[in-house]
């Protein structure tokens, strides 16, 4: 898939997982798509994920247009997160430390005690290295 634009890759992914070729993805097909790509969401998160793509009709089927629109929204949101991450990564280390995380939280209007910030850092820091990578930041704030 090298050289393809994201929309083309996403369209191919949709087509590949539309097993019954009806132009929509049902829950079973979406679960297979996620599973094949290394994601095993708990049921409540899966329902939220599915509803996000299913759109206002809520017909329990995701059309290709809904799929592409949802992925575009996610892509845009991740770009926004990247800008925030970069803005607060004061030392350009590629990680957020406790001080940088505190600045984000304060700027968002949260007045937390140091122990509360430490707890947020601990939960977000999946690798346990005492700092938050961009990937960890995305997971923590989505």
CA distance 26 to 55: 13
Which pLDDT band, with edges at 50, 70 and 90, does 2 fall under?
low
Segment among 14-23, 56-65, 127-136 with least mean pLDDT: 56-65
Contacts of 102 (CB under 8 A, 6+ apart): 112, 117
Return residue ranges of the chain for CATH 1.10.238.10: 6-76, 89-140
Q: What is the pLDDT of residues 69-125, one digit of tens each?
A: 999 999 999 999 999 999 999 999 999 999 999 999 999 999 899 999 999 999 999
What mean pLDDT is reported for the chain?
93
Superfamily of domain 6-76: EF-hand (1.10.238.10)
- 89-140 maps to which CATH number? 1.10.238.10
């Amino acid at each position: 898939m090298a050289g393809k634009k994201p929309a083309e890759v996403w369209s191919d992914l949709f087509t590949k997982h539309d097993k019954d070729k009806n132009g929509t993805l049902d829950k079973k097909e979406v679960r297979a798509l996620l599973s094949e790509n290394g994601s095993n969401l708990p049921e409540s998160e899966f329902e939220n994920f599915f509803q996000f793509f299913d759109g206002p009709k809520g017909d329990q089927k995701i059309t290709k247009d809904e799929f592409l629109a949802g992925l575009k929204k996610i892509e845009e949101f991740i770009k926004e997160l990247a800008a925030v991450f970069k803005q607060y990564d004061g030392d350009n280390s590629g990680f957020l430390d406790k001080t940088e995380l505190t600045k984000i939280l304060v700027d968002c209007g949260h007045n937390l005690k140091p122990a509360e910030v430490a707890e947020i850092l601990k939960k977000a820091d999946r690798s346990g290295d005492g700092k938050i990578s961009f990937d960890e930041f995305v997971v923590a704030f989505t």
